[in-house]
Amino acid sequence: MPSVIVITGGASGIGKTTAEILAKQFPNKTIIITSRSQHSLDEAKATIGQNAEGYQLELTDPASVAAFAQTISSKIETNTWTVAAFIHNAGMIGNFEKSKAGIEKTFHANHLGVFQLNSLIFPALLKSAKVEPCRIIVVSSELHDPVVAKTVHMPFPTFRDPEELTFQNSPDGKGYAVGVAYASSKLCNVLFTYELVKRLPRDSGITVNAFTPGWIPGTGLARNTGVIARSVDSILSPFFSRKLQRSCASLASIATDVQWKDVNGKYLEMGVDKKSSDLSYDAALQTRLWQFSENLIAKF
């Protein structure tokens, strides 16, 4: 049965470069990428290669997430595909805005959409993993960790209750800070990874790890930031092209190389199993975020 690797947000930046590496390395595997734009998908497929397939996905739109999950699940259910790896890479930084569901967009795109997508595809992934083991990788950021963020004078997560991140009771986003929202959503990625590992059925054939690519200016991530941040990002971009390749090669390796086969519940950077933030190991917070997210998506 054909085997696929799914990379959300694979039409630009880290996702696209990783897709290019994987498509070249595994010509017999299909590389599934997603984007909010059909035009971006068409352009990306042309450079990734013949074995790339593209699907539209808007993580802050529950109907779009459900449609994409349905596509993936039905391919598995009809024995069209097995999924060798599922890389939750898509992510954003942005000024205060709410999704149509009334939830702050960074939290919605970076965590809640990932949570919804995983919940919907998980039964099919379990089925797929009976045929071929599946590696779920959640792309986080080192900025989730105050210790790292402080060394580079960047904002870090300060929330204690996930409810704070939705801004559901704040129409004007009073107290919202772009960097804090981003870092908080990236902490959610790690908390989600660790909680999902706890919930994996025994001998499921699925592993789940968090991954941080390190700082890589020049991807599309800064597109919604201010003019100064965008200019700095673009000036620095040429100096980071080798790091982009190295980091994406590391992500591609975690998704496919035999050395990572049984690695589960880790936070990985450049092929190294690292310690994530102290708060990310808070088992009660992991469970609270899971249950809170479950309640939110139940209303969709």
Chain contacts with ligand NAP (rule: CB under 6 A): 9, 11-15, 35-37, 40, 57-60, 89-92, 109, 139, 141, 212-213, 215-216, 219-221
Cα→Cα distances 204→72, 128, 133, 134, Å: 18, 10, 8, 9
State the nearest-atom distance from the C-beta of 201 to ligand NAP, in Å.
Answer: 27
Residues in the chain: 300
Edge-first strand order for the sheet with 3-7 is 52-56, 30-35, 3-7, 82-88, 134-139, 206-211, 267-269, 272-274
Q: Whole-number minimum distance, CB 174 to ligand NAP, in Å?
A: 23
Provide the minimum distance between the beta carbon of 189 and ligand NAP in the complex, in angstroms, as a whole number.
8
Which is nearer to ligand NAP, 204 or 224 (by Cβ)? 224
For ligand NAP, give the closer residue by CB, 122 or 240.
Answer: 240
Query: Shortest gap between Cβ of 94 and ligand NAP (angstroms)?
Result: 8
Per-residue buried b or exposed e for 180-218, using 16+ beta carbons within 10 Å of the residue's own CB: bbbbbbbbbbbbbbbbbbeebeeebbbbbbbbbbeebbb
**Could you tell me if 72 and 44 are in contact, meaning their C-beta atoms sit under 8 angstroms apart?**
no
Instruction: Give the number of other Cβ atoms within 10 Å of residue 13's Cβ.
Output: 21
Secondary structure (3-state) at 96: coil
Q: How far is the CB of 11 from ligand NAP (least distance, A)?
A: 4
Least distance in Å: CB of 282 to ligand NAP? 21
Residue nearest ligand NAP, CB atom distance: 13
Residue placing its CB nearer to ligand NAP in the complex, 258 or 272 = 272
- 10 vs 129, beta carbon nearer ligand NAP: 10
Give the nearest distance from C-beta 285 to ligand NAP in angstroms.
Answer: 20
Residue with smaller CB distance to ligand NAP, 8 or 286: 8
- Element at 190 (helix H, strand E): helix 178-199
**Could you give the CA distance from residue 183 to residue 188 in angstroms, rounded to a whole number?**
9
Please, which residue, 109 or 254, has the CB nearer to ligand NAP?
Answer: 109
Q: Least Å distance between CB 12 and ligand NAP?
A: 4
The beta strands (E) that lie in 144-251 are given as 206-211
Give yes or no for a contact between 147 and 277, defined as CB atoms under 8 angstroms apart: yes
Q: Are 274 and 142 in contact (CB under 8 A)?
A: no
SS3 154: coil
Of residues 100 and 130, the one with the C-beta less far from ligand NAP: 100
- Torsion angle in degrees (nearest 10) through CA of 166, 172, 173, 175: -140
**Residue whose CB is less far from ligand NAP, 58 or 145:** 58
